[in-house]
Amino acid sequence: MKPTFSRFASETQPETAFIVLARARELQASGKDVIELEIGDSPFEMPPNAAEAGVQAIKNGQTHYGPASGLREFREAASTYVNEEHGLETTAANIIAGPGAKTFEQLFCEAFVNPDDGVLVFSPHFPTYGPNIARRGARMCLSALESTKAFRPSLDDVKHFLENDPSPKAIFLNSPHNPTGGVAHSEDLAGIAGLIRGRDVAVFSDEPYDCMVWTGRHRTLLSEPGMLDQTVAAYTFSKSFSMSGWRLGYAVSSPATIKVFDLLTNTALSCVAPFVQMAGIAALREGREYRDARMADFRRKVELLVGGLNTVEGVHCLMPGGTFYVFASVSAICNREAITSHGLAMYLLEGADDHAGVACLGGECFGAAGGGFLRLSCAQPDERLTAAVDFIRDATTRSDRIAAYLESHQEYRLDTSYEA
């Protein structure tokens, strides 16, 4: 008899973005011209000085184990960076290194969340939040973000959660927000801080797009009085510095929390490779001008895609407050053709044309609250973004092909219309 897998392992689903990515690559291998707007990976090269530092570190033999919390030099560089960028007052004792930001979701839940605890998540939401909460046997409590409110977090929902949940323990906050592009304002952060201050409640502040705020500057919950003790903020080199393959990030919190994260990292991950951290140090210290130029490129691409999509009948999208994603409402098209928004996304990839396609994600890949939307990444050359808009404009008028696609993909048939 073969051993059975755990209920958690059997029920966990992968990120849909990677499933769509694999399908897009499969179609490309067969000769189809696919414009990839499904994955949130920077198209730019990493800062040259960071690459050189990483290579030199390998040559210098920095390829062995390091401290679980990260090299002290890396932690000092990260502390200086967040102090200068976000107006914080931290030291190396407030920093821990990790392989990107995603790992800190799991460490946060292990550090703070017990079975049956309530965890408030603003939805649509990043798809790995659910599995990491479920891994601890906790409950994910959803607060729907609304386009009419620019996808900002609802303080009323936070208050209701704290006052009515039988065991409110944590909040997942993501700003700038993936997939909607919403940005929490200063009053939102002050309001959340005021509601949780002094309570046994911790916040996971997911901030990988901190350098992609298109109006004003990024604000972090850590800057609110007392929040360093109740918040873990996670940052990554994948977006701002185009270093996704290096798998490097860091978390910022109180020294007490960092010590717990150090212990949990030691038992699970050992450490981040020292040569990777050396590349990160160079990016933090010398890569900001290069970073800012790439962020300006992303903003221009976002504006280009938003402007183009808003010329397509049945599509409406807001200019996101941040990130390099566009979260376009396609409810009018979906309701007319009786197809789910993820079904529409798959149709654009697989069924709209025999020789070409556009890869993107249906909003329900980020929870039911995302239904009726498409998430499109702007990580392509300008001419490919323009070509994608033209393709979507034509493909969404071809009711015959949509109907034919639905005939062979009944799982994408829309039973209940989306709210307009």
* pLDDT per position as a tens digit, 289-299: 999 999 999 99
Of the chain, the percentage scoring pLDDT greater than 90 comes to 94
**pLDDT score recorded for residue 14:** 83
pLDDT given for residue 16 in this prediction: 85
Distances (CA, A) of 55 to 60, 98, 238, 277: 9, 20, 18, 11
Q: What is the pLDDT of residue 11?
A: 87
Pick from 126, 281, 282, 145: nearest CA to 204: 126
Instruction: State the amino acid at position 186 in one-letter form.
Output: S
How far from the centroid of its chain's Cα atoms is residue 357's Cα? 24
Specify the pairing of strand 356-359 against strand 325-329.
unpaired
If the chain, 420 residues long, is cut into consecutive pieces of 10 residues, what is the mean pLDDT of each piece?
90 86 94 95 94 98 96 98 97 97 95 98 96 96 96 98 98 98 97 97 98 95 97 97 96 98 94 98 96 97 98 97 98 98 98 97 95 97 98 97 97 92
Of 244, 389, 350, nearest in space to 28 by CA: 350
Rounded to the nearest integer, the mean pLDDT of the chain is 96
145 in Cβ contact with 123 (< 8 Å): yes
Could you give all domains of the chain from N- to C-terminal order, each with its CATH number? 7-44+291-412 (3.90.1150.10), 48-286 (3.40.640.10)
pLDDT of 350-380, one tens digit each?
A: 999 999 999 999 999 999 999 999 999 999 9
Pair 351, 401: CB distance under 8 Å: yes
Per-residue pLDDT at 414: 97
